[in-house]
A and B are shown apart, each in its own frame.
Chain A
Amino acid sequence: MLVPYPEAHDSNIGKRIVKDTRPVNLDLTSVKFPLPAITSILHRISGVAIFFGVAVLLYLLQLSLASEAGFEQVQEYFTNPLVKLVVWLLLCGLLYHLIAGVKHLIMDFGIGETKAGAKTGAIVTIALSVVAFAVAGVWIW
């Protein structure tokens, strides 16, 4: 669950807000992490990652547009396996965030907002993403 206003917690500092008799579950392997939860956290991770990745994209764009020599320099970069890997990972992040984002928007319209719908959406998101990653990989290599 998102907690938009964490300040709300500040009043709880130093106070015991839970009963000591509550059950404690330390067996982390028993904590369920259903598919929709995984697609959701990946959407968040991809969002943060591409936020920093934009720097790489702007750099490459600026260089490629600056001059013919810059354009060739970028093409030269792309012969480097490490650059290919980084750009591919970045592309995967963008594609995933896009696909999961579109799913998110569809659900915001109230479509598929059931437990079963969420699972279907998650499966479709993962399936489309895997295909997109593969296509991006083939394109880069």
Chain B
Amino acid sequence: MVTNATSFSRSGLTDWLVQRLSAVVLGAYMLCILGSFVVHPDMDYEQWRALFAADSMRIFSLLSLAALCAHAWIGMWTVGTDYLTSLQFGKGATSIRLAYQAICILLIAVYLIWGIRIFWGT
């Protein structure tokens, strides 16, 4: 079996599954937020704050944040390994891909820490 040092779970099959499970969580979260806009089109600050302060919503938000991090990593990894290869870049491809992956993981780490602050820190 082929394994890869930079993929999310080191297994293509597990990555595939995590990509799908995280997609479902993210989709549900998106519909939940959009739905809240439809149901309460004119939310004021208090209602908006209360929505995200509820424990159930905090858990859902953090779960979605985790899903986002995994989903984005697997997704961006897939895109990078499709286009940043020796086919396009010759010998330097591995360095280019690692640099790209480093930028992705950095941004994901920022999102994770920033998101935790927003959803649980206030």
Q: Is the interface of B mostly helix, strand, loop or mixed?
A: helix
Q: A131 CB to closest chain B CB, in angstroms?
A: 14
Beyond A2-B78, A51-B76, whether A10 also contacts B86 by CB under 8 A is yes
Q: Is the CB of A58 within 8 A of B115?
A: yes
Q: Is the CB of A61 within 8 A of B87?
A: no
Chain A residues with a Cβ closer than 8 Å to the other chain, count: 34
Residues of chain B whose beta carbon lies under 8 Å from any beta carbon of chain A: 2, 4, 7, 12, 20, 23-24, 27, 30, 37, 44-45, 48-49, 52, 68, 72, 75-76, 78-79, 81-82, 84-87, 90-91, 93-94, 97, 104, 107, 111, 114-115, 117-118, 122
Identify B75's interface contact among A51, A98, A105, A139, CB under 8 A. A51
Q: Is the CB of A108 within 8 A of B20?
A: yes
Q: Is the interface of A mostly helix, strand, loop or mixed?
A: helix
Residue of A nearest to B49 (CB): A65
Complex Cα gap A61–B72 (Å): 19
